[in-house]
Structure 1
């Protein structure tokens, strides 16, 4: 009912506004020449900014990429879309331009001003790594993450959690296979990823019933992931959209409140454990992400420092869990879908895994074996190239330190306003036939010696689209963890089972936009267990 009212009012407003705007425009042209506009990249006229937000922000499945493809073909690889009345959105659809922009120091390292939903879920402002303004606070938060939980030297600390999650995933697959005959893996993947990330974030044994905690965190964060796109309607005319979508507004506030109710007791339990350690609390071992947040001192204006508030830690924990689970689970499912659709790739991968792992069960696969599986590495790199979990990286903006005197920075001969959003169309770059031969085909061989992706450098221009956690702001902090999880869980699933197409049900590769781009119809597969006598 809210949506019907919204669209009825939208159509009425648009129809009423067109003649008024046309007459005003004519009057201005007759009586006075308009002042010169800032030199932005080309694009449709700004007049559309009064209409386009009303047309698509009420929907969660608007095909914005169709608009972007049309603009790309008409205006070139760098263009402007006036999606919001007060802010221009600049899109970069060329890999070389993207590389120059992202590698140009801190020029485009900032974020646009936060929307209303962003303020709700980041403690009233840009107090998270993905939304934070480029400056001392953001650098402190990112340095804490990259030097702690995501540092390659610390990844082995959570190997036990990964083994237990893989064993639980295999058991869940077997149980569903025996019960239903067909396995729908999407939910099982999310549960496995949450098991690992909750352990990394809060630790194991922090609650009386860790399984119940994981289930509660998973349910709440999945609700956030599947509803976040719909909350973006409050980024346009919030005084109006809060009324038109009042149930959705209450739902968003309720979701944030429930995050605090769930995470704050876990944070306080970590603090109590930390405080119970004899001696100087600063010398306590940092075993989890929350441990690092409890000890973090962040800079304030005037040179002072302070601790994070509980609300800020809730936002950072939510960000950590979503970034580490949603995109990774999505890519694993896309990879498995391609293995089901192309059994010859699955057979080659299975042979490599069983050769290296000596045909043992999945729970005994060692992470040290993964570097000796080059075809596995190629499959894992091909997954996010062909099916990036985000078709755009998080929006960037001009950093204040790079703004010139008139309030603009330069990009490819154009001027970019301070708060304009700068967006990179990474999905399109991954399908660029000038770089990737037969780009729409899932073909891991391109990352083996002799292929166009051989020797891939994950910080280079061609590889921007393969970063499961986005790109820019130097190297993506979650890259090493993401690749490890992709390789480990794909290897686990292929070593333990053979994945077959359900009779009469070809794999559908249609997409759906949640927080990540996921399969519109979750993968369904017939599964056969591998044994020592029946190799997959």
Structure 2
């Protein structure tokens, strides 16, 4: 009897405690109804989470909570809340939630890892070298690669989707490692897009079991856990690519063949910066991820919008013709005189943000906002998609309308200030904002102008010659997302412009030669063949 009573009391305590698991604690923002133990886990979206999160925001408000088992997630779909909590209080919200997947794959050296001394070192290093002034140093190779992109599209327009991928990959490889990719089939480019697809799917919210909430799942044998097999595969592929590039660059520097790339500076200053080989390898890898896949997705979305909204394309071309004309290609300096094209660039960020949910943050301390508790350790989702498609902020948010940014600085409806909507919001928030955003925006600006100047983008046609309507929601799943391959017709706007494109591409050969190291035989043959005037 003496043993039975404590045992009974213990069981009652456990039962009462378990009943609370999954319940929404007092003080949390509202959210969908919960179930015992599960909370909202049973309705947590496994893909394209931004759609469901936005639907819930319209019901529960711009700040609401989800219970994921015993854990708490806060979803921000309100620009003012993002500005206050993620920017002004970034010291409290700069952490990442536990990401066992990231730690398994990268050993904790990825910049999406948790707030730590290693993360601070990597972040400080990136910000030290990727300044706006330093980004301008790389404009020559960006412009040269952009001239090849135009040339590739001119010669084989049906391959525009992979031409863009080659371009974005080659730019970031040149900037980081001083080595370009003249073809999409260049080994480093194909290797990157193969591993990046798998990596993004692994990190998408809901795509793997809730390992961080139920730690015992870590101990399931790999043969019974596909996610573990995927982690092993991605880790091997990443290390082969990232550290292979690093070692190749070191060998080139050892031969006295420097060309001023980013990782050369890291190598020269590694003691000063406190960066070891593991950190350097993953720093370069993170920047490849941030500068290659995201840029190509943005440019593919831009082309999709130009096809789907021909009036916007026509207005952009009229402005381009007025400012630049037909006898030369545009330059970055021209953009200042092109308000409509600047609006088009901003509208593409809004219409189809590359990172619709950003990467989740985590609260380092308890915070209070508008009477709600943001508890220490909670996951914070910044629902960029929901903000940029909020009908309270934007007229007709589901359509591509660059004019909105001519009517108001932030594209918002008349009478709505939009002062909380900073222009670089698509690049992240607080201390986790993308360190390479200046480099990326230069790339976007150059190509947006080039596309409008050079080509007409029109819908593909069926066998009867009828235009095929594009599905502007046909996007790949993943933490970062871009359009699935789609078809359209791309034609040069004039014979003169086609000739200028070919001339500019051939003139870029001297710039390219500074970055053409370690090319395969097939790459060398392609380079020689492509630089013969037609």
What's the TM-score once normalised by structure 1's chain length? 0.77
User: Counterparts of 1:183-202 in structure 2 under 5 Å?
Assistant: 183-202=158-177
Distance 1:26 1:132 in 2: 32
Match of residue 525 from structure 2: none
User: Alpha carbons of 1:327 and 1:25: their partners in 2 closer, same or farther (altered >3 Å)?
Assistant: farther
Correspondence list, 1:271-420, <5 A: 271-274=250-253, 287-297=260-270, 307-360=274-327, 364-399=329-364, 403=365, 408-420=366-378
Structure 1 residue 322: deviation in Å?
Answer: 1.1
DSSP-derived class of the 2:368 partner: strand
Kindly tell me: are residues 187 and 262 of structure 1, through their superposed partners in 2, closer, same or farther at Cα, counting changes over 3 Å? same
Q: RMSD between aligned alpha carbons? A: 3.7
The 3 A distance-change label for structure 1 pair 69 and 431 is closer
| Structure 2 residue corresponding to 1:514, chosen from 478, 486, 503 | 478
Supply the distance in 2 between the matched residues of 1:27 and 1:86 (Cα, whole angstroms).
Answer: 15
Indicate the residue corresponding to 1:231 in structure 2.
Answer: 202
- 2:27 pairs with one of 36, 39, 43: 39
Q: Quote the Cα distance in structure 2 between the aligned partners of 1:48 and 1:296.
A: 54
Question: Residues of 2 paired with 1:47 and 1:242: CA distance?
Answer: 30
Judged with a 3 Å threshold, the aligned counterparts in structure 2 of structure 1 residues 423 and 109 are, in CA distance, closer, same or farther, namely same
Figure out how many residues of one structure are paired with residues of the other and give that number.
468
Q: 1:49 to 1:507 in 2, by over 3 A?
A: farther
Question: In 1, Cα distance between the equivalents of 2:344 and 2:389?
Answer: 16
Q: In the aligned structure 1, how far is the partner of 2:23 from the partner of 2:183? A: 62
* Shift in CA distance, 136/30, structure 1 to aligned 2, threshold 3 Å: closer
1:164 paired with 2:139, answer no
Specify whether residues 217 and 163 from structure 1 end up closer, same or farther in structure 2 by C-alpha distance, changes over 3 A only.
same
Please list the CA deviations of residues 475-517 of structure 1 after superposition, one character each: whole Å capped at 9, or x if unmatched. Answer: 6433322222112112212222111111231111113323422
Q: Which 10-residue stretch deviates more, 64-73 or 158-167?
A: 64-73
Q: C-alpha separation between the residues in 1 aligned to 2:171 and 2:83?
A: 33
1:453 to 411, 416, 422: 411
The partner residue of 1:222 within 189, 193, 198 is: 193
Flag the 1:75–1:355 CA change in 2: closer, same or farther, 3 A.
closer
Q: Return the offset for 1:195.
A: 0.8
Please state how far the C-alpha of 1:382 moved relative to its aligned partner: 0.5
1:109 aligns with 2:93: yes
The CA deviation at 1:25 is 10
Q: Which residue of 1 aligns with 2:526?
A: none
Shift of 1:54: 7.1
Which residue of 1 is the match for residue 125 of structure 2? 144
Q: Name the CA distance, whole Å, in 1 between partners of 2:101 and 2:220.
A: 15
Aligned 8 A contact 1:499 1:527 in 2: yes
Q: Aligned-pair distance for 1:198?
A: 0.2
Give the whole-Å Cα distance in 1 for the aligned partners of 2:455 and 2:59: 48
CA distances 1:306-354 after superposition (whole Å, capped 9, x unpaired): 8433332222212101111222221211121111122222122123223
Aligned mates of 2:405, 2:443 — CA distance in 1:
19
Asked if residue 82 in structure 1 is aligned to residue 94 in structure 2, the reply is no
Secondary structure of 1:528's partner? strand
1:410–1:438 Cα change, 3 Å: same
Q: Residue in 1 aligned with 2:428?
A: 470
**Cα distance in structure 1, aligned partners of 2:317 and 2:393:** 29
Residue in structure 2 matched with residue 488 of structure 1 by the alignment: 446
Q: How far did residue 534 of structure 1 move? A: 8.1
Give the direction of change, closer, same or farther, for the CA distance of 1:267–1:229 in structure 2 (3 Å limit).
Answer: closer
Q: Secondary structure at the match of 1:81?
A: strand
Paired residue secondary structure (1:508): coil
Unaligned runs of 5+ in 2: 1-10, 212-216, 413-417, 462-466, 499-534
The more displaced of 110-119 and 23-32 is 23-32
Seen in structure 2, the aligned counterparts of structure 1 residues 235 and 222 have a Cα distance that, compared at 3 Å, is farther
Structure-1 separation of matches of 2:184 and 2:15:
64
Change (3 A) 1:24 1:430: farther
Equivalent-residue separation in structure 1 for 2:160 and 2:37 (angstroms): 41
- The Cα offsets for residues 141-188 of structure 1, whole Å up to 9 and x where unpaired, read as 22322231x3111223222322232222122212323xxxxx253222
Check 1:360–1:39 CA distance in 2 against 1; reply closer, same or farther (3 A cut): same
User: Matches of residues 419-438 of structure 1 in structure 2 within 5 Å?
Assistant: 419-438=377-396
Q: Hey, what's the Cα distance between the residues in 2 that align with 1:188 and 1:285?
A: 28
Is the Cα–Cα contact under 8 Å of residues 103 and 113 in structure 2 kept in the other structure?
A: no
Contact 1:202 1:270 in 2 (8 A): yes
Distance verdict in 2 for CA 1:391–1:529, change over 3 Å? same
Q: Deviations over 1:126-147 (max 9, x none)?
A: x2333340x5543332232223
Contact 1:116 1:235 in 2 (8 A): no
- 1:341-369 Cα deviation digits (max 9, x unpaired): 222221221232233333136xx432322
